[in-house]
Amino acid sequence: MKISTLTISLLVTVSVFSQKSENLIPKAAASVFSINNVSLLQKISLDELIKYEFMEEVQAELFDGSTTGKTLKDSGIDFNQKLNVFYGKTENYEVAGLSFGVTNKEALFDVFDDFTPSYSDYSNVEFYESYFSRIAIEENSGVLFRVTPTNSTVDLITDSIWQAQGNEPHSYSYRSDFLFDQAEVEAVETEVFIDGVEVEDYPVAEETPSIKTYYELRDSIETGLSIQYLSTVCDEVFVDGQNLVNSSPAFAEQLTHTSEGVFFLDNSKGLKNSEFSYLKNIYPTLYSNIEALYTGNLILGDLVINDNSVEMQLNAQYGDELGSIYSKLSGAKFDKNVLKYIHKDNLAYFTYRVNLREAYEQAYDIIIPLLSEEEDLGISAQLLVVELMNEFLNKDAIFDTYKGSVFGTFNGIQKVKTNKITYHYDEETFEYTEEEVEAEADMPIFTLGFSTDRSDIPTRILELIAKLTDECHNEGAYWEIDRAVLDAAPLYILIQNDLFILTNDENLVKQNANGFGKEAISKKEAKAARKSGIVYGYADLGLAIGSLPRDIFSASENELIDVLRDKSGRITLNSTNSSQSNTSFNLIYDFDAQGDSDKYILDLINSMYILSK
C-alpha cells in the first residue's frame, strides 16, 4: 500500500513539476497554436508536415533530405506533450518557433541533423544551433526558435552610428520592376564623408578594411542585436521562468481545454507592434488612449475534430469601451426579406446585420473624447470637421438609407452576351474589314444588397444619373446600367421590399424581383441565418473556391487559399451577438473525405497562422 501510494505520489509530482513544452513559449508570443492531441499527426509524413507555412522556422533545416521517409513518430517527439507553434513581435525583435516534448534526443537530431551542440549559459538547458535557428532542451521539452531583430530597430541604430561617424544620412534606393521601369531609375548618388572629408564612393573593405560601409555596419549591428535579444528571450524563459503561460491567464486557461487544438491571438500586442506604433512618438496621448482601448483584446479558440467535420470555436474578447461599441452593433433586427433573395443553389452567401446608427453614436461618444485629449493641431482641426459634420448632417436620413445590414450571394458562373471583333476577308485580295459580332463570355453572378427604410433616396440618385447618361435606364421593376460590369455586362439595381440590391443576375431582376419563392434557401438554412448573431455565412468549397486563379493573389493570400483548394466540403460560419465583453464565432468545416481529419486540422491551423502573422 505504501509502495503504491509512493508511486502515485511520485507520478503526480513528476507530472506536475516536470517541464512541459508550453512552458517554453516566450511571453512575447502574440499568437500560439497548440495541438493537444499530437498523436493525430503521427501518420503524417514529416515531408508533408514541413511544407506548412507554420513550420517555416524549421523548413531551412529540414528541406535537406533528413526527413525523407520519416513521420513525426520517428522524430523523437513526445506525443504526450503539446506541440506549440508560436510567433511574436516586440518593438525590437521577432520571435518564432515551436515547442514540443522530447522522448528520444538521438532520433530528434537524426531529423534536425543540421544542429550541432553549442555552449549553454543556462544550467540544465542544452543548446544546439544551426545557421538559422536554435534548439534548447530543458528536461524532456524542447523549443526550436529564432530571434530576429526588427528591421526598424536595426536601421535606427545603424543610422545613428553611421551619422555619428560623420556620414551623411544613408538613403535607401529601393528598386523593383513593380514600381519603376528599369530604364527610368537613375542611380542614387550619396555623398559619403570619412573624418569629415567627402569621398567619391562608399569605402569598400578591401581598400580601407578598418572602415565599414553602411551595409557592413548594418550587418554587424544586426548580428549583435540578434545575440542580445536571444539572451533576453532565453533569460526570461530559463532564468526568470517567465513564459506566456504564466504571463497570460487567458492563455493558461485556454491550455486546460481538452479539444484537439487551441489557439491564442493577442491583438493588443499586435497593435503595439503594428503600423500604428508610429503614432507613439507623433501623437503620444492618442496612442496611449488607443492602446488602452485595445487592452484585453484577445481571440481564443478551440479546434474540435468530429467524424466528418472540423469545428473552430472562436471567442473574441475585448475591453469595456470597445465592448460597448460592439454590443451596440448587435442591436439590429434580422431583415427576413433578404432570405427571399438567396437562391437554394447559391454556392456561397452571407448575411450580416448590425445597427450602424447605435454603433455610430456609441463610437462617437468614445472616440471623440480620445481625439480631444490630443494636443496636435492637425488632429484638432480634423476633430472639428468631424464634430461639425455630426451636427449638420441628417443622420436619420443617412442611417435610414444604409442601416448596416447586408447580404451577398455568389451564384456561380453564367454565360453573358458581349461582343467581339472578327475579320471578314476578301477572297480576291485577302484585304479585310472588321466586324463586330455577338459573343458570349463567362461571368460570375453575384448579388449584394442592403436593407433600407429610405428607398426614395437611391431612387432619386438613379433618376438623376439617368438624366446624365443613357447607359442608366429604368426598366420598370429595376434599373439597368449598360456595360457597368467590366465594361461588358449590365449591372441591375433592384429596389424592392425595403432592400437595395445590386446584381448582374438577369434571372433575379427579370423573373424573381420579389424573391426566389420556393427556390430560395430552405427553411432550415433560413432559420440558421436568422438565429445567428451578427454574421452568418455558407460556402460550398469545392465549387466556389476551386476555380480561383492563383495569379490574382499575393503569395501569402495564395497560401491561405491553397489550404481550401481541391477540398470538397462546406463551410458554415455563425456567431453570437456581441456582448459587452466578447463575441463568439463558430466555423464548421464539413468534409466528405474519411480519415483525413488530421490534415484538415493542420490546414486550419495553417490558415490561422498565416492570418495572424
Partner 1 sequence: MKVLVRFFAFTFLLMLSGCIEIIDDLSFNDDGSGTFKYNINLSSSKIKLNSILALDSLDGKKIPSVDELSQKIKTSVAFFKKNAGISAVSVESNFTDFTFKLQCDFASLEDLQRAIRTFIREETKSPLMPELKHDWLSYSGSQFIRSVPLITTKKISEIKFEDRELLKQGTYTSITRFDTEIEDFSNPNGKLSKSKKAMMSRANMYALIQNPNLIDNRINLVKLN
**Considering the complex, what minimum distance in angstroms separates the CB of residue 439 from partner 1?**
7
Cα four-point dihedral sign 517, 522, 524, 528: negative
Q: Is 433 in the site for partner 1 (CB under 8 A)?
A: no
Question: Which grid cell is 535?
Answer: 454574421
- Residues 101-120, mask of contacts with partner 1 (x by CB under 8 A): --------------------
Q: How far is the CB of 382 from partner 1 (least distance, A)?
A: 24
Is 404 exposed, middle or buried (CB count within 10 Å of its CB: 0-12, 13-18, 19+)?
buried
Tell me which amino acid residue 14 is: V
- The smaller minimum CB distance to partner 1, of residues 200 and 427, is found at 427
| Binding of residue 448 to partner 1 (CB under 8 A) | yes
Contact positions with partner 1 (CB under 8 A) in 467-526: 485-489
Considering the rule CB under 8 A, would residue 442 count as an interface residue with partner 1?
yes
Tell me if 444 contacts partner 1 by CB under 8 A: yes
- Which grid cell sits at 553? 493573389
Listed ranges 130-138, 312-320, 435-443, 506-514: which one lies at the site for partner 1 (CB under 8 A): 435-443
Q: Which three-class secondary structure state does DSSP give residue 129?
A: strand
- Strand 134-138 and strand 125-129: the pairing is antiparallel
Residue 440 and residue 438: Cα distance in Å, rounded?
7
Return the number of other C-beta atoms located less than 10 Å from residue 565's C-beta: 15
10 Å CB burial of residue 553 (0-12, 13-18, 19+) is middle
CB of 185 to partner 1, least distance (A): 12
Q: Quick one: which of 110, 548, 579, 596 contacts partner 1 (CB under 8 A)?
A: 548
- Provide the minimum distance between the beta carbon of 334 and partner 1 in the complex, in angstroms, as a whole number: 23
Total binding residues toward partner 1, as defined by CB under 8 A: 38
Residue closer to partner 1 by CB (options 76, 412) is 412
Residue (175 or 336) nearer to partner 1, CB: 175
Beta bridge partners of 218: none
**Looking at 60, 107, 161, 441, which residue binds partner 1 (CB under 8 A)?**
441
Judged by beta carbon, residue 68 or residue 182, the one nearer partner 1 is: 182
Q: Which is nearer to partner 1, 337 or 414 (CB)?
A: 414
Candidate segments 62-70, 148-156, 298-306, 427-435, binder of partner 1 by CB under 8 A: 427-435
Considering only residues 140, 288, 418, 580, which one is a binding residue for partner 1 as defined by CB under 8 A?
418
Q: How far is the CB of 348 from partner 1 (least distance, A)?
A: 11
Write down the least CB distance from residue 419 to partner 1, Å: 8
* 183 versus 381: smaller Cβ distance to partner 1: 183
For partner 1, the binding residue among 257, 446, 459, 576 (CB under 8 A) is 446
Residue 314 · residue 582 · CB < 8 Å: no
User: Nearest 5°: CA angle at 64, between 80 and 30?
Assistant: 50
Shortest reach from residue 459's CB to partner 1, in Å: 21
414 is a site residue for partner 1 (CB under 8 A): no
Sign of CA dihedral 524, 526, 527, 528: positive
Among residues 175, 333, 420, 460, the one that binds partner 1 under rule CB under 8 A: 420
- Does residue 554 bind partner 1 (CB under 8 A)? yes
Report the site for partner 1 in 216-255 (rule: CB under 8 A): none
Burial 114-126 (b: 16+ CB within 10 A, else e): bbeeeebeeeebe
Residues 168-197 binding partner 1 (CB under 8 A) are 177-179, 182-183
Q: What one-letter code names the amino acid at 289?
A: N
What whole-number distance in Å separates Cα of residue 188 and Cα of residue 174?
Answer: 10
Query: Which of 17, 131, 172, 430 contacts partner 1 by CB under 8 A?
Result: 430
**How many C-beta neighbours within 10 Å does residue 356 have?**
18
Specify whether the CB–CB gap between 513 and 479 falls below 8 A: no
For partner 1, which is the closer residue by CB, 392 or 430? Answer: 430
Q: Whole-number minimum distance, CB 535 to partner 1, in Å?
A: 16
Single out the residue of 434, 476, 517, 518 in contact with partner 1 (rule: CB under 8 A).
Answer: 434
Minimum distance, C-beta of residue 611 to partner 1, in the bound complex (Å):
17
Task: From residue 304, give the alpha-carbon distance in Å to each of 41, 307, 480, 573, 596.
Answer: 15, 10, 47, 15, 14
Q: Which stretch binds partner 1 (CB under 8 A): 364-372, 399-407, 419-427, 506-514?
A: 419-427
> If binding is defined by CB under 8 A, does position 425 make contact with partner 1?
yes
**Binds partner 1 (CB under 8 A): choice among 18, 419, 511, 514:** 419
Instruction: Tell me the closest approach of the beta carbon of residue 57 to partner 1, in angstroms.
Output: 24
Q: Does 439 bind partner 1 (CB under 8 A)?
A: yes
Phi/psi at 141 (5° precision): -130, 150
Per DSSP, the residues of 388-437 read: HHHHHS-HHHHHHH--S-EEEEEEEEEEEEEEEEEEEE-TTT--EEEEEE
Rounded CA-CA distance 135/143 in Å is 5
> Which amino acid is located at 529 in the chain?
A
Task: Please enumerate in sequence order all residues whose Cβ is within 8 A of that of 361, keeping only pairs 6 or more positions apart, or say none.
Answer: 328
DSSP states of 531-579 as a string? HSSSEEEEEEHHHHTTT--STTS-HHHHHHHHHHTT---EEEEEEPPP-
Q: Which stretch binds partner 1 (CB under 8 A): 309-317, 320-328, 415-423, 562-570?
A: 415-423
What is the contact surface with partner 1 in residues (CB under 8 A)? 177-179, 182-183, 413, 418-421, 423, 425, 427-430, 432, 434, 436, 439, 441-444, 446, 448, 485-489, 547-549, 551-554
